Amino acid sequence: MTTTEAPRVDAGWADEVRALAAAQDAVVLAHNYQLPEIQDVAHFTGDSLALSRIAAESPASTIVFCGVHFMAETAKILSPEKTVLIPDAKAGCSLADSITADQLREWKAEHPDAVVVSYVNTTAAVKAETDVCCTSSNAVEVVRSIPADREVLFLPDQFLGAHVRRITGRQNMHVWAGECHVHAGISGPALTAQSQAHPDADLYVHPECGCATSALYLAGAGAVPAEHVKILSTGGMLDAAREAQPGRTVLVATEVGMLHQLRRAAPEVDFRAVNDRASCHYMKMITPEKLLRALREGRDEVHVDPELAERGRAAVQRMIAIGQPGGGE
């Protein structure tokens, strides 16, 4: 839905969500890809890194995570004493599904001295096998924090891995061949066609996208001025939007939920999706009705095996300690 479509909720819905949250000492967090109504009612909306930090620091005894399952699991790993709810526990992630803990153990056995860097889009079982987690906001800093002579296993996103390797120049980094089906579907040809139609536009490209390499190729070939191409996390896109000149056109290569936050941050800028069908059906499983149900019925509660949580906690804590505050913090 765009901001101009009819709202999906009654006038009293937001008041009821806020009142129930207050009565239950709950904080409502929403990822930038959530439905606009959910983003607007949440106490905090942001990127994966910002939301992990907010979840860890919040004094609320209950966290209602409007996002996908690995995000709620990460909050539970950081705060096992808190109640963590997700409005639909079936909200998964194709990227998190692209590597299992068994596959990671086999990979580690082939590289016994390597440092394992896992994107936060992984299951708790994979985090338990990880040395340090990262998000798209701080992946470069996380890899730079590892001594240059240590081999790195980077997983599971091949496009983010390629981006980190390009920026750091690191050769001893092995990258798992996983991908997010939504971002992989934002292709180089789609980006090229859009940038030809809008030759003066800025390009905000999420590093999980299949078109990130094409964006840099366009810049390298002179088809797009290099300063117009920005490879950014969702929080980074929001920071860039706040600096954008009114009247500019920006082509946005990420999940379409991001457009709501961008348009709110910079209403005078013309934000256009590179692929307007790039919608994550997992993110959209969190509906206004299910958010209300979560608060009324305390479901779905997220549990992480305490032994796995214990083993994954240090990796997640290292992640939230590295990198600048991001969008939403």
234 binds ligand 13P (CB under 6 A): yes
The residue (of 46 and 312) whose beta carbon lies closer to ligand 13P is 46
58 binds ligand 13P (CB under 6 A): no
123 binds ligand 13P (CB under 6 A): no
72 binds ligand SF4 (CB under 6 A): no
Q: Which among ligand SF4, ligand 13P, none contacts residue 282 (Cβ within 5 to 8 A by kind)?
A: ligand SF4
135 binds ligand 13P (CB under 6 A): yes
Between CA 145 and CA 138 the distance in angstroms is 11
CB contact at 8 A, 47 and 25:
no
Q: Which among ligand 13P, ligand SF4, none contacts residue 259 (Cβ within 5 to 8 A by kind)?
A: none
For ligand 13P, which stretch binds (CB under 6 A), given 10-18, 129-137, 140-148, 164-172?
129-137
Q: Which among ligand SF4, ligand 13P, none contacts residue 48 (Cβ within 5 to 8 A by kind)?
A: ligand 13P
CA-angle at 308, arms to 307 and 312, nearest 5°: 120
**45, 94, 117, 256, 257 from 263: Cα distances, Å:** 14, 27, 33, 12, 11
Q: Which among ligand 13P, ligand SF4, none contacts residue 94 (Cβ within 5 to 8 A by kind)?
A: ligand SF4
Query: Among residues 45, 130, 137, 158, which is the contact residue for ligand 13P, using CB under 6 A?
Result: 137
User: What number of helices (H) and strands (E) belong to the chain?
Assistant: 15, 12
Query: Among residues 37, 47, 88, 202, which is the contact residue for ligand 13P, using CB under 6 A?
Result: 47
283 binds ligand SF4 (CB under 6 A): yes
Q: How far is the CB of 227 from ligand 13P (least distance, A)?
A: 22
Q: What residues form DSSP beta bridges with 252? A: 204, 273
For ligand 13P, which stretch binds (CB under 6 A), given 47-55, 125-133, 168-176, 308-316?
47-55
Burial class (CB in 10 A: 0-12, 13-18, 19+), 249: middle
Owner of token pair 């950081």: 78
Strands 83-85 and 44-46: unpaired
Between CA 196 and CA 181 the distance in angstroms is 25
- Closest Cα to residue 293, out of 13, 36, 4, 5? 13
94 binds ligand 13P (CB under 6 A): no
Binding to ligand SF4 by CB under 6 A, coded x per residue (else -) over 217-256, reads --------------------------------------x-
- One-character DSSP codes across 8-62: SS-TTHHHHHHHHHHHTTEEEEEETTS-HHHHHHSSEEE-HHHHHHHHHH---SE
For ligand SF4, which stretch binds (CB under 6 A), given 126-134, 176-184, 239-247, 266-274?
176-184
Q: Which residues bind ligand SF4 (CB under 6 A)?
A: 33, 68, 93-95, 121, 180, 182-183, 255, 280, 282-283
